Amino acid sequence: MSLKKVHDKQPENFSFNEDSLRKADEILKRYPTENKKSAVMPLLYLAQRQNENWIPLAAMKYIANYLSMPYISVYEVATFYTMYNLAPVGKHFIQVCTTTPCLIRGADKIVKLCKEKISPNENEISKNGTCSWIEVECLGACVSAPMMQVNEDYYEDLNEKDTLKILDSLMKDKPLKPGSFRGRKNTSPEKIQSDGEKHA
Ligand code: FES
């Protein structure tokens, strides 16, 4: 998304809704009052969840005020970590891991499918507005490579055919169930029966 488009989408104001305020209150209890600015990261995450998975500048200002800390300090944190989205993303936000283990197991094919099915470029929302995608570094599920994260869910043990089905389901706003697409439970090995075939 171009800088102008991002600028156009910035809301004038932001404030926590009732639910976020309650959660923010809980979060603040974890820190000594004099160190309440340490809560900046979970509060940014809270703002992101409330605001369709991205953090506008107004939310950073609101959090700075909420934690009595300089706006620039909140901005520095928000712009440092890639888990914070600073521009609108699709309702289904797809993060494709392309670090070595996933790449060796075919992550490049997943990226190619995202380009074909969703949008030619990263951070570009699909024409129907449902999805956007980016490449990311290791998401800590290398044992189930290749994999991708969609909002808060992991889709693992992927191949091209299954990825295509998942992307189609997301574009139709009817997401398939996340998890292993080789039927593995967590990171358990696949069952191999006496006929030598693999079974879920
Ligand atoms: S390399 Fe992809 S999850 Fe670790």
Model confidence pLDDT, tens digit, residues 81-126: 988 999 999 999 999 999 999 999 999 999 999 999 999 999 999 9
| DSSP state, residue 173 | T
Cis before 42? omega within 30: no
- pLDDT one-digit tens code per residue, 123-140: 999 999 999 999 999 999
pTM of this structure: 0.84
pLDDT tens digits along 159-200: 999 999 999 999 999 999 999 999 888 778 776 555 555 544
Ligand 1 in contact with 142 (CB < 6 A)?
yes
36-63 pLDDT per residue, tens? 999 999 999 999 999 999 999 999 999 9
Ligand 1 centroid – CA 159 distance (Å): 15
d(CA 78, CA 60): 8
Tens-place pLDDT, residues 70-84: 999 999 999 999 889
Q: Is the CB of 147 under 6 A from ligand 1?
A: yes
Domains and CATH numbers, the chain: 13-80 (1.10.10), 92-180 (3.40.30.10)
